[in-house]
Amino acid sequence: MTELLSNYLTGRWQNGSGAGAVLHDPVLGTELVRVDATGLDLAAGFDHARKQGGRALRALTYRERGALLDAVGTVLKAHRDTYYDISTANSGTVKNDTAVDVDGAIYTLGTYAKLGESLGDRRYLLDGEAARLGKDPLFQTQHVLTPTRGLALFINAFNFPAWGLWEKAAPALLSGVPVIVKPATTTAWLTQRMVKDVIDAGVLPAGALSVVCGSPSGLLDALQPFDVLSFTGSADTAVKIRAHDMVARRSVRVNIEADSVNSALLLPGEGSDSPAFELFVKEVVREMTVKSGQKCTAIRRVFVPETLYDAAAEAIAAKLAKTTVGNPRNETVRMGSLVNRAQLISVREGLAALGQHAAILFDGANTALVDADASVACCVGPTLLGTRRTDNSVIHGTEVFGPVATLMPYQNTAQGLDLVRRGEGSLVASIYGSNHPSLSQAALELADSNGRVHVVSPDVAQLHTGHGNVMPQSLHGGPGRAGGGEELGGQRAMNFYHRRSAIQASTGVLSGL
Ligand code: NAP
């Protein structure tokens, strides 16, 4: 039998009492480890985190908590090679894709460690200036942000087992709030190992960090009024979470990061030989292929002025044709596999659904795999679809979570921006062009329907951070179908873990805050 990974709860390692779910290598098909959370006393574990972990973290200043994040980053760096091996085995990712997850996590921790240093020796934050409540200035109101006395429960998606933990845990721990993470079962190994290394290193106070691997059953029932819940995953699961009785009854604060049909749009006025066109094509191809398209921020819909439709199709297809797909252990392979067979089936079904409404401009089904058995490996080549009929709601509403995008033409800028908005709220849209005023205007037009607008012009060709890369300094999350959540964005992320309250008092009292 494969090794059973332990859960860390109530300050000790505990095995589930069931048979557990087996995690697989999606390229070789071999069994790796098992996870199970059957029979854990979740209520006791959550209570321990709130009482022990919360108390210990709140006793520290932001500077001291920042130093904890720094220490966590040092532990993770020391074990980086192991994380790369686990990611290759369990997620089927090539090294560059693992870096997005593992090194992205370490970078995010470092950014919040520095923020802690800059917030200094405080344990709470002031929110704005004091305001008079009447004619006499003696009695005023001051808003304050204090860490919630509950815990932060993270229910995470399979595609970022490393970054998905730490991009949430960094602002939570910095805020003084203990963390319990429940990784997606399919890729729980990497999350579990990172938590294990940090716990073994003894760099965090008791109760500050726990991990529960396996079924989510019972987790939401254990939540209390001051807890917060951060969910990343599909829109369908998000609906169940929002509707959960305990979440509703206890007013548990919930952040949802769901799926999103993100866009890339090339503005008019650029020829097919222009630098902006080249940057646009390069980014579309990169976004389709990084992590085999299993990124919530990946480009799914691609818009060009109608005169450039054929040129764009040709240029994107030519680059996709160079993508080598297969076993990530082979150095020549650029794109590894999907995470499991269920995702492979889901991508094939999604392609079939989109294929009812769009033509295939580049067919990934013909891609020969390198060093991988097509009957075992969950690999799929990149596919570019295209349609000149842009009013189709299936195209605007279907997220195929793989290396798939659909090209569409638009007639004028206003129509192009309208088509981007047909995604009904996205995590990110990117726009490409060389005219700065037109780019500013388009960015503002898209800001309300996209959590982030990524603008690529030739002057930042070497500097821009990429359409799909989520930087800790920038907001992550989008309105509408993207879940309505907000993460990261520097200090903004800490709002979720703090409670805002008004203190009304004499200025003599307020000056002591
Ligand atoms: P998922 O099936 O919704 O699962 C997400 C998490 O929810 C997993 O940990 C899962 O546990 C858990 N879960 C499932 N049913 C639950 C329930 N009834 N109550 C509580 N938790 C439950 O999503 P996924 O397949 O892992 O991830 C892919 C999706 O996530 C894509 O649609 C992608 O767009 C989205 N995503 C969004 C973002 C973002 O930041 N917006 C980032 C990454 C991914 P088990 O694994 O044990 O079932």
SS (H, E, C) 238-258: HHHHHCCHHHHHCCCEEEEEC
pLDDT at residue 245, rounded to an integer? 93
**pLDDT band per the 50, 70, 90 thresholds, residue 105:** very high
How far, in Å, is the centroid of ligand 1 from the Cα of 400? 15
pLDDT above 90 as % of the chain: 99
State yes or no: is 306 an active-site residue: no
How far, in Å, is the centroid of ligand 1 from the Cα of 309? 35
- 320 within ligand 1 shell (Cβ under 6 A): no
Q: Whose CA is nearest to atom 43 of ligand 1?
A: 296
The closest alpha carbon to 42, from 266, 277, 212, 278, belongs to 212
pLDDT higher than 90, residue 118: yes
Relative to beta strand 359-362, strand 253-257 is unpaired
**pLDDT band per the 50, 70, 90 thresholds, residue 100:** very high
pLDDT at residue 483, rounded to an integer? 97
pLDDT higher than 90, residue 196: yes
Burial of 268 (0-12, 13-18, 19+ CB in 10 A): middle
Distance between CA 151 and CA 173 in Å, rounded? 10
Q: For residue 214, give the ligand 1 atom closest to its CA.
A: 47
- 240 within ligand 1 shell (Cβ under 6 A): yes
Instruction: Name the percent of the chain in helix, strand, coil, to the closest 5.
Output: 40, 20, 35
Place of tokens 């690529």: 456
pLDDT at residue 501, rounded to an integer? 98
Distance between CA 468 and CA 476 in Å, rounded? 10
**Two structure tokens written together for 306:** 């109608």
State yes or no: is 296 an active-site residue: yes
pLDDT tens string 292-313: 999 999 999 999 999 999 999 9
pLDDT tens string 395-423: 999 999 999 999 999 999 999 999 999 99
Sign of CA dihedral 140, 143, 146, 149: positive
pLDDT higher than 90, residue 366: no
Q: For residue 215, give the ligand 1 atom closest to its CA.
A: 47
pLDDT at residue 230, rounded to an integer? 98
Average pLDDT over the chain, rounded to an integer: 97
pLDDT tens string 205-226: 999 999 999 998 999 999 999 9
pLDDT at residue 331, rounded to an integer? 96
Taking each helix axis as running N to C, give the angle between helix 95-119 and helix 80-91, from 0 to 180 degrees, rounded to the nearest 10: 130
pLDDT at residue 103, rounded to an integer? 98
Mutate to test the pocket of ligand 1, among 232, 261, 378 (most ligand atoms within 8 A of CB): 232
Residue 261 main-chain phi, psi, to 5 deg: -100, 80
Distance between CA 265 and CA 419 in Å, rounded? 10
How far, in Å, is the centroid of ligand 1 from the Cα of 258? 8
- 157 within ligand 1 shell (Cβ under 6 A): yes
Q: For residue 157, give the ligand 1 atom closest to its CA.
A: 26
- 184 within ligand 1 shell (Cβ under 6 A): yes
pLDDT higher than 90, residue 511: yes
Q: Across residues 363-388, what is the average pLDDT?
A: 96
pLDDT higher than 90, residue 1: no
Q: Across residues 271-283, what is the average pLDDT?
A: 98
Q: For residue 183, give the ligand 1 atom closest to its CA.
A: 9
pLDDT higher than 90, residue 489: yes
Place of tokens 């195929």: 400
pLDDT higher than 90, residue 56: yes
Relative to beta strand 404-410, strand 383-386 is parallel
Residues 6 or more apart whose CB falls under 8 angstroms from that of 281 comprise 312, 315, 316, 319
pLDDT tens string 374-384: 999 999 999 99
**Two structure tokens written together for 402:** 């793989």
Q: Across residues 248-276, what is the average pLDDT?
A: 96
pLDDT tens string 312-354: 999 999 999 999 999 999 999 999 999 999 999 999 999 999 9
**Two structure tokens written together for 206:** 């008791």
Mutate to test the pocket of ligand 1, among 42, 155, 168 (most ligand atoms within 8 A of CB): 155
pLDDT at residue 413, rounded to an integer? 98
The closest alpha carbon to 402, from 362, 364, 367, belongs to 364
- 426 within ligand 1 shell (Cβ under 6 A): no
Distance between CA 253 and CA 208 in Å, rounded? 19
pLDDT higher than 90, residue 464: yes
Residue 56 main-chain phi, psi, to 5 deg: -65, -40
pLDDT at residue 350, rounded to an integer? 97
